[in-house]
Amino acid sequence: MNKTFINTRIKANVRAISSKSEAHRALICAALADTPTFIHCNDTNSDIEATASCLCALGAIIERTEDGFDVTPLSSVHQGALLDCNESGSTLRFLLPIAAALDANCSFNMRGRLSQRPLSPLYELLQQNGARLSPQGSNPLSIQGALTHGAYSIAAGVSSQYISGLLFALSITEGKSTLELLGNIESAPYIEMTLDTLRLFGADISLDADTNRFTINGKRRLTSPGKVFVGGDWSNAAFFLCAGAMGKTPVTVSGLDLSSRQGDKAIIDVLANMGAEIQFNSSSVTVFPSSLKAASIDAKDIPDLVPILATAASVAEGETLIFNAARLRLKESDRIESVCAFLSALGADITPIDDGMTIRGQKCLLGGKVDSANDHRIAMSAAIASLVCEGAVEISRFEAINKSYPSFADNFE
């Protein structure tokens, strides 16, 4: 599906959609709990639905209601199930170790680039601790055997999702386990979010900060708190917050928790550093049209913000450097190349580097045709870029937004 934006009038007020990251974690813990849980979650998308579908395939009962999910946890595990992850990397990386902990003997079906994205070192670690997997790159990917409790260690700089998946799995693997994180930790706020959710569901996890070693006293079931609330999504709010700074109209995004653990809450700090005028209320953020300045942006903990931050930088005075983003090459697209490609197509002055990009800001962009690369964050960033383009922006494969934000176009226009 092609979508064209020209002389776009952006809404002045937008409600933040429910956090995909929080919803994944709440659904998983609810499915592994002892009694039913209601999850207040106003919105859904294809990634959230992939996690819910996979948990149902394992034996949970998850029913969508007007304002959330009713989750009846696993009473017994369905053996030999096929779990369809669609294109959701979070779903695969969270549930692969969980399937081993449940001894589910199941298979994971993957779509898009997901089967091509690496699973090491999680893949090898699972095999060393009781699981047997089909070769990497297999689609479906099968896993058999039961995960054992014990001493685990994993490189912390590859994917925080591997660490979260192991924390979920070891929390329901009876016995005491340790998980040591080796090297520099990437996307640490996402690990904190996982710990918050697990502890809400009664998991017994402690961390020795000096050694980066978790101690997990696993038990067969987590303990349901009865109700869970999913907060607003800072990752997707970032598109509209940047739009407020780049465009001609102030934009207010409501439903955001300023105390949230979500790492992409850092969007307000980065925009402020670039000179954006920002106003805060109890549960909303307003960004005013601003003369943006270039900045040096470390993307180690905020890789998902890179496409929209590069878009903002394309009209910021000076040269912006975005670095520590090498993992973007393994996303839904090679996001370093696809960000540079779409902004170049619109007339931006942008150059890729090994772990990021440099952007030399201009007063405006030209417009043109953009390929989303079937990547939701590229599609949405290109739409926001239309606010500073002299001509129309035509985006191919715009349906990619359904992965995380199906109502994006309605909220934007």
Residues recognised as catalytic: 304
Give 360's strand partners: 319, 349
Q: Say how far apart CA 280 and CA 243 lie, in whole Å.
A: 16
Euclidean distance between CA atoms 199 and 223, whole angstroms: 9
With b for 16 or more beta-carbon neighbours within 10 A and e for fewer, the 62-79 pattern comes to: beeeeebbebbbbeeebe
Residues found in the chain: 413
* 412 neighbors 386 (Cβ within 8 angstroms): no
Distance between CA atoms of residues 261 and 354, nearest Å: 29
C-alpha closest to that of 106 among 130, 135, 82: 82
Strand locations in 175-283 (E): 175-182, 205-208, 213-218, 227-229, 251-254, 277-280
* DSSP H or E segment with residue 4: strand 3-5
Contact between 8 and 389 (Cβ < 8 Å): no
**Edge-to-edge strand ranges of the sheet holding 393-396:** 3-5, 393-396, 368-371
